[in-house]
Structure 1
Amino acid sequence: MPRIVICGTSMDYESPASMERGCWNGSEFCSPAIEALAEPVGEDWVVDDDFVVAVLGAGLGENVSDAERDFWIQTYRTNYRGDEGRRRLRTSSINLRDRDGLEARLGDVHCPVLWLQGTADQVYSVANAADGIARFTGSLSATLQIVEGGQHFLTASDPEVADAATLAFVEQWS
């Protein structure tokens, strides 16, 4: 049986309605990077540390350890280098900013759905998750599980909670 597990996201694009529910302004966050990454660069280019730190702040909050920050800066530098890396980073930022919403299609989902949402998510709010899970009207079961203190990168900030909830969900619907 198909199942869907959702972690800290939105079925809406970054619309005014989602922002009214306490979600981020994706255009405001992504557009400066998209503009900064518009021109080709040399093969010695690496992603700016400030970009990585901003992503970590949105995904894991402001209390990221030095070791974790350094790990992600190095990982980004490895994955996004040279003009090809710049182009991929720009494309992924455009896709994040300009994505379409899925809300109109959610009634057609019939399998069980589990939505995990952190209370400290700086990108998407609990109110948005509650609105989103309620739209799975055709689903056999649609459950919202709130993770106290969980960040946007929920499987990184609270892996034990996310793993246990996912395992219990899969076992319930096996």
Structure 2
Amino acid sequence: MASIGVFCASSQRLDGRWLDLAHDLGVEIGRRGHELVSGGGCVGMMGAVADGAREGGARTYGVIPQSLVDLEVADTKSDELVVTDGMASRKTLMIEKSDAFITLPGGLGTLDELFEVWTTGMLNLHRKPMLLLDAEGFYGGLLDWLRSLAAQEFVRREALGMLLVSRDINESLDLLEASLLGGG
């Protein structure tokens, strides 16, 4: 069993397909016997992945800053919900508690979490697998831009190689599980 940190959108105005993607990922995390580490929210994709994980039988560990608890968006159904003093400490704790990471479609907060975990991995502060679930080509433009940065030597090519990319839930979890076992 691995603790899988999932970064994703918390917006409540998303198209249902993104909520379904998050829910289905959560179910599969649970079905495979893993634990979910989430941002501790009960709304948007964050809430959907946590609900799905519980449906699939997963233990859920949420990490949420007090400011979001005050807005009444905390996932109070989490098996364990840790309240932090801010967003930076939330990310730090999520990185510590996770064995691997999946980034789903999201906005600025999701990108912030992706780049934090990726940068700290590149600096050898952890060696945890990181995967970008590029459903429907959501991150195509970002990936093209990152490749152009590597071509110009702004980003090391080995950094690009650290980020696994998949378009499918099952393939994503297969890749992470193989990486955790040393085969990826």
Give the TM-score category using the shorter length.
0.3 to 0.5
Rg comparison, structure with higher value: 1
TM-score (norm 2): 0.33
Structure with more strand by fraction: 2
TM-score using structure 1 length: 0.35
Structure with greater contact order relative to length (CA < 8 Å, sep ≥ 6): 1
